[in-house]
């Protein structure tokens, strides 16, 4: 074998292209330099109000069946490969029908997403949600619960009927117990949906009272919004914490 290793022309060309895109994206000080080939050249919002508006506009497109699916092309992948600056953090459920990037019609590098069963929180989860706001000034956190949440339903059944769940699921149930206790006494028509909404508010309030996030909220540098997603309509309803 007397093989000469030669740079492949196609590889050279594509690496030059990659270099150009990376150079465009590398200048983080100016948001206007998003590659023009990206589906969404819009600059990311930097205030809580603008961030929520961006998400709700995207959700409206999603709910109407007219998503733009922005920021999902190879140019965007390259643009955020070295550095990310998501404009919102979302704490949502593991449910397969509630993927935040789809339902808010955003793309790669737009969101920090933390997902647990029923938005159950604990120190590791809270730390993960805090990551964006505390390290890179992410202006918005959305706690997103949803209609017919299986995790909430299972937790309700476990606590109401004394069902024992397998594996580590009882840890999730324990984390959701405060929401159960809030609705158990009320005995309303739809205790599962009431528990879903209670959990959204409890998780959002817990984050708002964090000694690290609270001051950012007070200064209006950060908004922590509670929101509910309808599986039937695809629409997100803001429950609390919308920035003025």
Which residues contact Zn ion by CB under 5 A?
Answer: 93, 95, 149, 151
Alpha helices in 107-235 (DSSP H): 123-136, 150-161, 169-184, 191-208, 213-218
Pairing, β 111-116 against β 223-229: unpaired
Token pair listed for 22: 């990376």
What is the number of other CB atoms lying within 10 angstroms of the CB of residue 161? 7
Of 64, 58, 65, 40, nearest in space to 103 by CA: 58
C-beta closer to Zn ion: residue 87 or 104:
104
- Using DSSP, state whether 97 is helix, strand or coil: coil
Q: How far is the CB of 220 from Zn ion (least distance, A)?
A: 30
Question: What's the closest the beta carbon of residue 203 comes to Zn ion, in angstroms?
Answer: 12
Taking the complex as a whole, the smallest distance from the CB of residue 54 to Zn ion amounts, in Å, to: 24
Nearer to Zn ion, 93 or 222 (CB): 93
> In the complex, what is the shortest distance from the CB of residue 168 to Zn ion, in angstroms, rounded to a whole number?
17
Residue closer to Zn ion (CB basis): 141 or 217:
141
CB 139 within 8 A of CB 48: yes
Cβ proximity to Zn ion: between 71 and 92 the closer is 92
- Tell me the sheet residues that pair with 111: 88
| Nearest distance from C-beta of residue 135 to Zn ion, angstroms | 28
Nearer of residues 93 and 198 to Zn ion, judged by Cβ: 93
CB atoms within 10 A of CB 74: 14
How many helices (H) does the chain have, and how many strands (E)? 9, 5
């Amino acid at each position: 074998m007397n093989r000469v290793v030669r740079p492949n022309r196609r590889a050279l060309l594509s690496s030059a292209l990659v270099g150009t895109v990376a150079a465009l994206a590398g200048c983080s000080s100016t948001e206007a330099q998003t590659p023009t080939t990206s589906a969404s050249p819009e600059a990311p919002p930097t205030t809580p109000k603008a961030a929520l508006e961006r998400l709700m506009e995207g959700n409206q497109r999603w709910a109407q069946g007219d998503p733009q699916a922005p920021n999902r092309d190879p140019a965007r992948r390259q643009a955020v490969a070295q550095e990310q600056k998501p404009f919102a953090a979302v704490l949502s459920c593991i449910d397969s029908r509630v993927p935040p990037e789809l339902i808010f019609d955003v793309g790669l590098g737009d969101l920090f997403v933390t997902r647990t069963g029923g938005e159950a929180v604990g120190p590791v989860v809270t730390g993960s949600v805090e990551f964006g706001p505390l390290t890179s000034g992410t202006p918005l956190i959305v706690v997103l619960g949803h209609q017919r949440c299986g995790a909430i339903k299972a937790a309700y059944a476990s606590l109401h009927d004394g069902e024992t769940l397998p594996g580590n699921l009882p840890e999730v149930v324990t984390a959701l117990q405060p929401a159960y206790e809030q609705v158990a006494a009320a005995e309303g028509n739809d205790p599962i949906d009431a528990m879903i909404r209670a959990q959204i508010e409890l998780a959002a309030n817990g984050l708002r009272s964090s000694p690290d996030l609270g001051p950012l909220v007070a200064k209006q540098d950060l908004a922590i919004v509670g929101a509910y997603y309808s599986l039937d309509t695809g629409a997100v309803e803001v429950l609390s914490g919308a920035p003025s």
